[in-house]
Every structure is written in structure tokens, then in C-alpha cells.
Amino acid sequence: MKTKIIGTGYYVPETVVTNHDLERIMDTSDAWIVERTGIHERRFAKKTEETTTTMAYEASKRAIDNAGIAPEEIDFIIFATLSPDYFFPGCGVLLQRMLGLHKKEIGALDIRTQCTGFIYALSIADQFIRTGMYKTILVVGSEMHSMGLDMTTRGRAVSVIFGDGAGAVVVRASEDGSGILHTNLHANGEFAEELAMTCPGCHAGHYDGDPAKYGAENAGPFDAVFINETILKNALHYPYMNGQLVFKTAVVKFVETIMEALQSTGKTPSDIDMLIPHQANLRISKFIQKRMGLRDDQVWNNIQRYGNTTAASIPIALAEAVEAGAIQRGDLLCLAAFGSGFTWGSALLYY
Ligand code: COA
């Protein structure tokens, strides 16, 4: 018995933000962004109408329709995001409620492994399905980055890369030979702060030994330093990325995790019908493609149109490739991701 993807769906907000739009609000250029990242445009959600969960809901409805099941058949939800509606509770319960599944009181789990979130979520779903604990699981990745990016020149190295959107899959036990063959999950916390948003949080400078940076130098037991004016003034509530380290590590770890998936199942790169890498950066994807000797039609890239949507990027790309007819039932798919944590991992499956 294997865990099969029986439905896919994605949703991206209507508003298109081009590189030229960014040129108007910060010191950047279309040429710089295209050359370094491959991105031409991304989508930004409507702030007062959409959230990470509403986008996830749209993607989930499409995945459920595509699977040809009723929402009530879902008996567990796994939700990956780094941009949740609330600090707590997680988006899993909000999506459960929006889908009307609160009446069934099914479990809802949130995953916080950033760009690798969907791979972790899919792997967990696979374990639950194969042990027989659940029959039908909704696995979602959704991000609303536009809510929390520094859209000034100060934040340009990060903010030009990210976009909003959501993707979802429905998985179920299958005995027809298709389904997930392998997943591997990795992390190295040594690099936790190299791609991170460290505030708001509960550390008050504990890790960098600089409490004053967080306005916590005189903090007593009754002072809250979760978020304060010093944190805002120092722009610590925006994401930080050591771009060059991320790039150098990503190209190594992407190849390693894909090779691990292939070697543990006795496959080779030429067996892959479609590689769907997390859409981190087109240069990273092209590097992996070259290193693995894959043809253009063996790799799906859509970062040009959506930017990096973190946990949503793989399920968006998968659903888009299915919709475009670029993936057929029975195809061997490899999904792979690398990102903040650092975390990385991959999944190999017969679609
Ligand atoms: N527009 C114009 N110039 C920019 C810019 C922008 N949006 N962002 C940064 N720059 C400038 C820098 O200020 C720097 O200027 P300086 O030389 O005058 O100091 C110059 O461009 C080079 O910056 P650097 O950070 O060294 O660029 P880079 O060649 O490393 O490219 C990234 C930056 C982020 C595109 C690159 O490091 C990268 O792709 N990293 C991986 C990122 C990624 O994939 N993240 C997702 C992980 S899941």
C-alpha cells in the first residue's frame, strides 16, 4: 500500500506585481532581479480580503474537487506555512473551520519548516496513511509574504524574491502501484539565523548576546520583549537572509537530497519524468538541472511568474503542471526543497 496524490489545486491572488512596479518603490531594477533570480513578477494578496488561510481554502477546494471527493471525507489536515494568520493558533484549525470540518473535529497540524514545509507535511501524511491512522489527508502549503516584507531599499535583497499563493493536495491510500516511494527529511540548526525572521519571539537577544538590540537590556520578569519599539526601530520584524550562503548551501543540498531519493529506490536521474524543485531561485533550479543532467522538459519552473512562495511553491507548481498536462498518471515525480532552518528534503512518487 502506498500514499497516492488523488487531487491537486492551487490559488494565486489576482494582483500581479512586476519588477517594474518594485522599481517605483525601492532602488532596484528589473535587470538585477531577472539576472539574479529569474523572477519577472509575483502575486500579492489583497490585504483586507485575503489571508494565508483564505488562499489555502481556495487551493484546498480545488484539490478536493480535483480529487472528486466530498470535503467530509478528509480526516486530517496538515498545513505548512511560515506566514500564519495568527502567531497562534496555527492556520490548520482556521482552514478546518473554513472547510466546515470543525463539525467533524478532525485533527489539524501545522508545520513550521519554511521552504521545506510541504515536503515535511507530505512525508508526515505518508506515514499516517501507511500506518492506517488516517484514510484521506489534505496537505496544504500557503504563504502571504506581502504582509511582512520590508518594501523599501533597505529590504530589497529579500523582498524582491517573495510572493503570495497557496497549493494543496489530497492524499489517500492506494494499491494500484502508484504513490509515494520515498521521502527524506533533513535539517541543520547551525544555520538557523541565516534565513530567518527572529522577531516577534521569545529570546530577547539570548542567541546573539545583544539584548539591547531588542530593547531587553534591563528586562525584568514582568517586562514583555516579544515585540516593542526597539525591535521595530531596528527592523528586526522583517526577514533576514544571508543570500550567498543560502545559494551555496542550497545547490549542494538539493542535489544530495534528490540523489538520496533516487539511490534508495534504485532509480537514476533519467528515470525522473518531472522534477519539481522548490521555487527558490531560477539560478538554483538551473544549477540542479545541469548537475543532474536533466532536460528542460524534466524540470518545472514557475518562479518567473510567482516568485518564491516558500511552503506553497511545490504544491502550486505540481498543480499547475498537472493542469497544463505536463504530468500524466504513472509519471515518476521528484519533489525537492531547501530553505530556512536550514531544512531540506525530497519525495519520489509515481503520480
Ligand atoms: N536590487 C538591486 N540591487 C540589489 C538588490 C536588489 N533587489 N538586492 C541586493 N542588491 C545589491 C546589494 O546591495 C549589493 O550591492 P553592493 O555590491 O553595492 O553592496 C549587490 O546587489 C550584490 O549583493 P549580493 O547580496 O552580494 O548579491 P548576490 O549576487 O549574492 O545576489 C541573491 C543576491 C539574494 C539574489 C543571491 O544571493 C541568491 O539568489 N541567494 C539565494 C536566495 C534564495 O534562493 N533564497 C530562497 C531560499 S529558499
Residues with a catalytic annotation lie at 115, 278, 308
* Residue 18 CB less than 6 A away from ligand 1: no
Model pLDDT, residue 224: 83
Q: Are residues 19 and 130 in the same domain?
A: yes
Q: Are residues 22 and 134 in the same domain?
A: yes
- Cβ neighbours, 10 Å, residue 274: 22
Q: 63 C-alpha vs ligand 1 centroid, how far in Å?
A: 35
Position of cell 486530517? 76
Q: Are residues 211 and 138 in the same domain?
A: no
* Residue 339 CB less than 6 A away from ligand 1: yes
Atom 25 of ligand 1, residue of closest alpha carbon: 243
Mean pLDDT of the chain: 97
Atom 35 of ligand 1, residue of closest alpha carbon: 36
Q: 335 C-alpha vs ligand 1 centroid, how far in Å?
A: 26
pLDDT per position as a tens digit, 49-92: 999 999 999 999 999 999 999 999 999 999 999 999 999 999 99
Q: Are residues 73 and 97 in the same domain?
A: yes
Q: 116 C-alpha vs ligand 1 centroid, how far in Å?
A: 22
Q: What whole-number distance in Å separates Cα of residue 309 and Cα of residue 317? A: 10
| The one-letter amino acid at 143 | E
Average the pLDDT over 234-263 and give the result.
97
Model pLDDT, residue 1: 92
CATH of the domain at 298: 3.40.47.10
Position of cell 491537486? 8
Q: What whole-number distance in Å separates Cα of residue 115 and Cα of residue 242? A: 15
* Residue 280 CB less than 6 A away from ligand 1: yes
**Which of 104-108, 225-229, 287-291, 342-346 is predicted least confidently?**
225-229
Q: Are residues 300 and 203 in the same domain?
A: no
* Residue 37 CB less than 6 A away from ligand 1: yes
pLDDT per position as a tens digit, 265-291: 999 999 999 999 999 999 999 999 999
Q: Are residues 138 and 212 in the same domain?
A: no
Phi–psi pair at 82, nearest 5 degrees = -110, 0
Q: 243 C-alpha vs ligand 1 centroid, how far in Å?
A: 6
Ligand 1, from 25, 191, 247: best to mutate by most atoms within 8 Å of Cβ? 247
Reported in sequence order, the residue ranges of the chain that DSSP labels E, i.e. its strands, are: 2-11, 15-18, 41-44, 76-80, 107-111, 136-143, 165-174, 179-187, 195-196, 240-241, 274-277, 332-339, 343-350
Please, are residues 270 and 295 in contact by the beta-carbon 8 Å criterion? no
Q: How many domains does the chain have?
A: 3
| Predicted TM-score of the model (pTM) | 0.97
pLDDT per position as a tens digit, 94-142: 999 999 999 999 999 999 999 999 999 999 999 999 999 999 999 999 9
Question: How large a percentage of the chain has pLDDT more than 70?
Answer: 100
Instruction: List residues bridging with 339 in a β-sheet.
Output: 343
* Residue 282 CB less than 6 A away from ligand 1: no
Mention every residue, 6+ apart, whose C-beta is less than 8 A from residue 227. 199, 200, 237
Q: Are residues 258 and 221 in the same domain?
A: no
Map residue 262 onto helix, strand or coil. Answer: helix
Model pLDDT, residue 177: 86
Average the pLDDT over 191-198 and give the result.
97
Closest atom of ligand 1 to 114 CA is 48
Domain range for 299: 180-192+240-350
Average the pLDDT over 235-259 and give the result.
97
State yes or no: pLDDT of 323 exceeds 90. Answer: yes
Q: Are residues 283 and 208 in the same domain?
A: no
Average the pLDDT over 205-230 and give the result.
93
Q: How confident is the model at residue 182 (pLDDT cuts 50, 70, 90)?
A: very high
Q: Are residues 74 and 16 in the same domain?
A: yes
* Residue 157 CB less than 6 A away from ligand 1: yes
Which residue among 175, 208, 224 closes a domain?
Answer: 175
* Residue 237 CB less than 6 A away from ligand 1: no
State yes or no: pLDDT of 37 exceeds 90. Answer: yes
State yes or no: pLDDT of 333 exceeds 90. Answer: yes
Q: Are residues 100 and 162 in the same domain?
A: yes
- Cβ neighbours, 10 Å, residue 270: 11
Model pLDDT, residue 187: 98
Q: Are residues 325 and 186 in the same domain?
A: yes
Please, are residues 196 and 341 in contact by the beta-carbon 8 Å criterion? no
Q: 244 C-alpha vs ligand 1 centroid, how far in Å?
A: 8
